[in-house]
Structure 1
Amino acid sequence: MPFRLNRRLGILSAVSVLMLVLAGCSTNDTFEQPVPVPEIEATVGFDRAWSLSVGDGHDDEFLQLAPLYAGDVIYAASADGVVVSVGADNGKAVWKKELDDRIFAGPGADARQLYLVTRDAELIALSSEDGSEAWRVSLPTEVLAAPQSNGSLVVVQTTDGRVIGFDTNKGERLWQYEAQVPVLTVRAAAAPLVGGDIVIASFANGRVIALTAASGQPVWQYEVGQPQGRTELERLVDIGGTPLVLDSALMVVGYQGKLALIDIRTGQEIWSRSASSFYAPAIGNGNIFLAAANGDVVALRGSDRRELWVQSDLAWRQITRPAVSGDYLVVGDFEGYLHVLSMEDGSLVGQSKFDSDGIRVPVQVLSNGNLLVYGNGGKMSVLKLEQND
């Protein structure tokens, strides 16, 4: 995730901001240097199905412009305004659009349209068939999370705690909900979940709130993290990962908070345990996997949340959310390496340098088990794990 403070607090150098935020992440309030790339004996490698470049990628912006996998096609956007639709099986272009806008968030989509947010805080709707612009509307402030839609309603969440619902046909504003967020926040945001009758939003104040899709009225709220400590850095409790939907429940985790399973209808807690992460958990073989804020990968048994193993050889390397592929987990890091871990014991079994500009967007798993990877420099590839000879 982008380790940076919210822009509205003023401009700091990337290095100083990085150190500030990581200092806040440390249990002893000291900045921890990332461990070197571990030397391993790789037994698993990557076979590339296809690869292409999407503009300038994140173009040195602290963004998470994650590609959107939509079955037969993949949509992707770059910070410098390139938007593409490509075949998921071969990477061949369906269409390409070069906008005269800087892109800050997206893409989100429904069956008809893609949704992006510009650096100038405009929500844009594009046709998913050819990329032509359908409409655009102004927003009150910047957005970092991809807009989400249920087909009739598209929802955006601003960095200052506003959740706004728009009609998908013409972009008419339908409702707005406002939450109080701390002055100091990590520069990350969880995309809202938009269902037919409910919207789930996660905030930098450590709360998850359910809103009615029709009017934006609150239904319930759940506190994932409670600010503690004397300084603003110590009191950070941001939720940076979109909650994971598991049937009628949500699994959510926050920074300096807890991992919890809650009832999606009532917001009642089913269980919780202490945890700290910027990303949603991953599920595989009945177990739970977390990319901890300090760079550890943690495996918990699904039945009782007992710790099964911890992999600490990637400490402070700003790893992404684990992707589950077969019997393996795959994470990226700030130097652009992909790391493969055994799901059974957490041992590192594979490694590859992907993008020298780093990897901030979590690896995604396609329906055929292949991996969709998007580097900060704009390189996008579909890879397959294979055993080394």
Structure 2
Amino acid sequence: MIARAIRSRAGRLALAGMALAALAGCSSLPFMGGSDDKPKPAELQANPNLLGVRQAWSARIGEVGFPLGVAVNGNQVTLAASDGTVVALDATSGREVWRAAAGGALAAGVGSDGTTAAVVTRGQELVAMTGGRVLWRQKLPVLSYTPPLVAGARVFVLGADRSVSAFDGQTGARLWSQQRPGEALVLRQAGVLLAVGDTLVAGQGGRLAGLNPLTGSVRWEAPIAIARGVNDVERLVDLVDRVSREGQSVCVRAFQATVGCVDTSRGAVLWTQKASGATGVHGDATHVFGTESDGRVVAWRRDNGQRAWLNDKLQFRGLGTPLVLGRSVVVGDAQGFVHLLSREDGTLLNRLATDGSAVAAGPVVAANTLVVVTRSGGVYGFTPQ
């Protein structure tokens, strides 16, 4: 369950806290819980089929039960299954380019620069691969649920305690590690880690931090959400992947708290708005899009954070992280449907079907192909008609 939490300092499961956090998450994410009283998913509208899209290919990997991130590098997408299978596919045809085994069940992945791919196993190993073979392994001091960032001949890891470490991309040698005071609880899902120019940007608690990628020193911090409450669960604040980046503007979500944008050139918060979602955001030059925990899809103006539109036709369908694609906002649900909504007003343009299992990761686009992965391991490539 995405609202599970772990004790960040020790990296151990905090059983009591985890149960409370899971319960809190289920109360606001009824489609994820086991209650008999959970709201019924909204009935699907008739599909208007206003946007011509066809399924071009499909492939299969193993089941996906971890916070998968699909890496896109040119025409290639790299993805993984829970059992440690890592696969690179040609997005134009679905053809398998290479396949490798991480040597253990996965906790996080996949990060890739197109040459080197990296994942983290549940045994706390960072595993780097190239061309279908394992390049090196490195034991981590703490587990990670965030896909490693492979950039600049280095591999960066955001730990479950929100520490950040850098490793040499060729040898796996540890270059530096930046530790900050740990939060009492953090989410058992992917956090924020990306490169913006010559700055490494990481989510640490409710803040975005800009780090020097050569040394790990902190250049700036920008608060997106502030911890409130009297116990660890109430005070839980954490930034979640994915993000919307346009130039120096990076917009993110703090779990069940806010959505906000930061000017990363100076570490200044541009705006924040209250929001109750649990998954990341995506956007374009004018808007930021996200899904709330009750299944509403929201568009905020990128310049000031004011709401532009809201779609409430998909409530309680277990919506995931959106993707901006052409004139649509693409979002998958817990029943395996992929909804294409208008960027202008949120109305339905088209609906695509997969295998009936939940969409496992935020959809991605590569080589003019929309790529969707499901929990049961289906991989689908959709292209314009």
- For Structure 1 versus Structure 2, the TM-score category normalised by the shorter chain is 0.7 to 0.9
8 Å Cα contact 1:9/1:183 also seen in 2: no
Q: Residues 236 and 22 of structure 1: is their aligned pair in 2 closer, same or farther, counting only changes over 3 Å?
A: farther
Which has the larger displacement, 15-24 or 247-256?
Answer: 15-24
Q: Does 1:20 align with 2:24?
A: yes
Letter matched to residue 115 of structure 1: A
CA distance in 1, matches of 2:56, 2:194: 31
Output the amino acid matched with 1:377.
Answer: S
The match for 1:206 is 206
Counterpart contact for 2:360–2:375, Cα < 8 Å: yes
> How much has 1:294 moved relative to structure 2?
3.2
State the SS of the aligned residue for 1:240. strand
Secondary structure class of the residue paired with 1:193:
strand
8 Å CA contact 1:40, 1:350 repeated in 2: no
Q: Is the 8 A contact 2:41 2:316 kept in 1?
A: no
Instruction: Summarize the alignment of residues 183-202 of structure 1 with structure 2, pairs less than 5 Å apart.
Output: 183-194=184-195, 197-202=198-203
1:277, 1:366 → 2: CA distance? 27
Question: Residues 326 and 261 from structure 1, CA distance in 2 versus in 1: closer, same or farther, beyond 3 angstroms?
Answer: same
* 1:104 partnered with 2:103: no
Q: CA deviation at 1:242?
A: 4.2
- Report the equivalent of 1:76: 79
Q: Any unmatched runs of 5+ in structure 2?
A: none
Superimposed CA distance per residue, residues 274-296 of structure 1 (whole angstroms, 9 cap, x where no aligned partner): 33433343224722222123321
Which amino acid in 1 is paired with 2:63?
Answer: G
1:16 shift after superposition: 8.6
Q: Does residue 220 of the first structure (1) align with residue 220 of the second (2)?
A: yes
List aligned pairs for 1:1-389, cutoff 5 A: 2-6=2-6, 8-10=12-14, 18-23=22-27, 33-44=38-49, 46-54=53-61, 56-58=62-64, 61=65, 63-127=66-130, 130-194=131-195, 197-203=198-204, 205-284=205-284, 286-368=286-368, 370-384=369-383
TM-score by length of 1: 0.87
Evaluate the alpha carbon distance shift between residue 292 and residue 216 of structure 1 in structure 2; reply closer, same or farther with a 3 A threshold. Answer: same
Report the identity percentage.
Answer: 28
Tell me how far 1:226 sits from its aligned partner: 0.7
Give yes or no for contact 2:145–2:159 (8 Å, CA) kept in 1. yes
- Output the CA distance in 1 between the equivalents of 2:258 and 2:20: 28
Q: Deviations over 1:152-182 (max 9, x none)?
A: 2210011112111111121111111112333
Unaligned 5+ segments in structure 1 are none
TM-score by length of 2: 0.87
Counterpart AA for 1:217? S
Aligned residues, how many?
373
Shift of 1:24: 6.0
Give the Cα–Cα distance (whole angstroms) in 1 for the partners of residues 20 and 191 of structure 2: 24
Q: Is the 8 A contact 1:2 1:360 kept in 2?
A: no
Deviations 1:107-134 (CA, angstroms, capped at 9, x unpaired): 211243111111101111111xx21111
Q: CA deviation at 1:10?
A: 4.0
Q: Aligned partner of 1:371: which letter?
A: L
* Aligned CA-pair RMSD: 2.7
Aligned AA (2:127) = I
Counterpart AA for 2:319: I
Measure, in 2, the Cα distance between the counterparts of 1:303 and 1:141: 38
CA distance 1:355–1:34, change in 2 (3 Å) = farther
* Contact 1:240–1:279 (Cα < 8 Å) also in 2: yes
Contact 1:261–1:270 (CA<8 Å) still a contact in 2?
yes
| Distance of 1:162 and 1:189 partners within structure 2 | 13
